Structure 1
């Protein structure tokens, strides 16, 4: 799956002079690209990036409202307008640009930096044999990832609420400790499963796919010189007709993530390991209601200080159906 990963960083009171702020951001971006030079190039085809130092694209926009007018809205559809492109379509944008940045200047002096960064699946950059299994997996994945007619909602949980939620969820026999992400995801996924029961075309099984970073678990020296992620999806399942038990749901999520350990990473790296994993993934999500879950909890995004303090809020903007995205506020 190829496309651009959207990211938004909000800074309050950061801009006294838009021109100076943009110049500062451009210089910072230029310095960053010297360390990650492929992102300054252009995609030629599915096989290579031309590292021609063409640079990233930088756009400026004036927003005729205060930043709080955006942040106080629980409807997140307006956030897309702060990105360089409206839709995060699963295709390359014109010209093969790897990174596009948009600086949005609010009337109050706040700044929102919208970033689109290209990402590619290894199968498209290093295409293996076009096996029937891979075609089947692509088809199954495409059927579960849809863009367009979806509604995005933002739910804000303060620290006391999360503490209460975690205490409530772990008060059961299946799990005696949960992370913030597991607790919040269990609540939202459980509610979504309950909603699925009302559909006419209800499916028997619900599957949660949770990307897990495997880079530090693979113990491969070559990865130290590579740009990008090494990740695979943990799989949690819950029957649609089963009584919603948030303790058990959180336990399912926890167990799925814990299975993605060093032993799993070594097996994935063995001959045929990746294809076997794709086969299992395809079987798990076939004819199931799939939810995608990801989290930026404890992400270093809140360390992104350009000289006017850390972000007031950092988030992504995903317009996939059945997508749960967790981040700090």
Structure 2
């Protein structure tokens, strides 16, 4: 198991490059007008997803020398360069809140060596370790690129030949669906040499459907600054099978209502978070609670927008809970009610003049609830995260995380039998939250990633060494140390 101190000394950035499109962007595509939704996104907000690939054939991915580049690394750079021809704005630069200059300046591409085994990290993955695998956390990259460069990539190679591909795309240009469209295209080119026909051509048409406007509302700028107080981020994995009876119980309380698995997971997390907050700060019990839930409306707008249409096609809906609405059935049913109302009344309106009116209306509503305890959630569930194949097979693990206060990020497990939740809370609140017995009845706290023998094989070795009656004690000590237990 790696600590934050371990990973800091084990990760070395070996190269920093700029990857430009393999052919220049035509003059008529050099300026991209963003949509109103893209316009109001802060330029420093990036969505990041990390793909973890084990080395199945025992071949080394990259040379241990910081001076050389192996064929596999070179292939990734070449395929990225080809992908950027189709996704040309991602190689451009932010010039104003509503404008991208598609000038082919390129994406930032980092390579790193990690002086341990991939399985060492996956025994108990922690945010401190993952942060070192994300390009935006490299000080030099952050200083040169954040807020202007639209695409950051870091390739981290472990001693075993395992690799982590970390991709960070600016929210000025892509939501989760269009972000994954780009990565699928890059992976297909790297794997097969050409872009799959079924992926289609990306479209950058948001600015014509929902033109940018001047917004004078004080709440139009989303405040996503990281607060100064001590925060803790932890991973919880919920077992879907453990929640079947709970769904039925809620259905008996709220007639004709069975919550979705993700809403039930959110309800459990929210209930235990509220309890922890009230225990730490009793005065917070008189405040209402708000859940800001990111909701895609791609399929609700007319005509509906496929994943090939780049840009932002989601909105954070605000679900307000009164002080006494803290039971699971209250929380889950109000989430569903808020989602239904948004889809029926607002989701289809995000275009033209009506789009400006509905966004202004939503921003006013958001400004009216500033005194509440606000939790934010985003879900990557049901997205094809595990379908990314760069030519080395499917990933062993895919994850994403954020360190903003009171944020909950949901991701499906590989086998679809559970939901991983990354939760960030105040340090004191997290100490209470992670010990809540109602929470622990449905989830495990940061279990190992056991897949393709990565961790399981090492666990078996430990058991054999410790319990074999003939193995000398000094070998036991050496083996256990090498496994970082």
Question: Could you state the TM-score of these two structures normalised by the residue count of structure 1?
Answer: 0.85
Compare 8-17 and 191-200 and name the one that shifted more: 8-17
Equivalent residues in 2 for 1:290-329 (5 A)? 290-329=374-413
Report the 3-state secondary structure (helix = DSSP H, G, I; strand = E; otherwise coil) of the residue aligned with 1:208: strand
Determine if contact 1:174/1:247 at 8 Å carries over to the other structure. no
How far off is 1:16 after superposition?
2.8
Count residues in correspondence. Answer: 321
From 93, 113, 125, the equivalent of 2:145 is: 93
How far off is 1:323 after superposition?
0.4
How far off is 1:182 after superposition?
0.6
Determine if contact 2:292/2:318 at 8 Å carries over to the other structure. yes
Quote the residue 2:343 is aligned against.
261
Are residue 235 (structure 1) and residue 277 (structure 2) matched? no
Report the 3-state secondary structure (helix = DSSP H, G, I; strand = E; otherwise coil) of the residue aligned with 2:137: coil
Check 1:11–1:175 CA distance in 2 against 1; reply closer, same or farther (3 A cut). farther
- Structure 1 gaps, min length 5: none
Question: Could you state the TM-score of these two structures normalised by the residue count of structure 2?
Answer: 0.60
Report the 3-state secondary structure (helix = DSSP H, G, I; strand = E; otherwise coil) of the residue aligned with 1:197: helix
Check 1:32–1:209 CA distance in 2 against 1; reply closer, same or farther (3 A cut). same
- Structure 2 gaps, min length 5: 1-41, 63-69, 174-205, 414-485
Determine if contact 1:215/1:229 at 8 Å carries over to the other structure. no
RMSD: 3.1
Quote the residue 1:103 is aligned against.
155
Are residue 250 (structure 1) and residue 327 (structure 2) matched? no
Determine if contact 1:175/1:247 at 8 Å carries over to the other structure. no
Are residue 77 (structure 1) and residue 158 (structure 2) matched? no
Compare 262-271 and 10-19 and name the one that shifted more: 262-271
Which structure's CA Rg is the greater one? 2
- Alignment partners' CA distance in 2, 1:147 and 1:126: 33
- Alignment partners' CA distance in 2, 1:22 and 1:280: 48
Report the 3-state secondary structure (helix = DSSP H, G, I; strand = E; otherwise coil) of the residue aligned with 1:82: coil
How far off is 1:291 after superposition?
0.6
Compare 21-30 and 302-311 and name the one that shifted more: 21-30
Report the 3-state secondary structure (helix = DSSP H, G, I; strand = E; otherwise coil) of the residue aligned with 1:309: coil
Equivalent residues in 2 for 1:5-44 (5 A)? 5-13=47-55, 16-18=60-62, 19-44=70-95
Compare 214-223 and 310-319 and name the one that shifted more: 214-223
How far off is 1:116 after superposition?
1.4
Determine if contact 2:325/2:331 at 8 Å carries over to the other structure. no
Deviations 1:120-160 (A, max 9, x none): 2999x9763342xx21453xx42x75345321000012343
Are residue 146 (structure 1) and residue 226 (structure 2) matched? yes
Determine if contact 1:4/1:90 at 8 Å carries over to the other structure. no
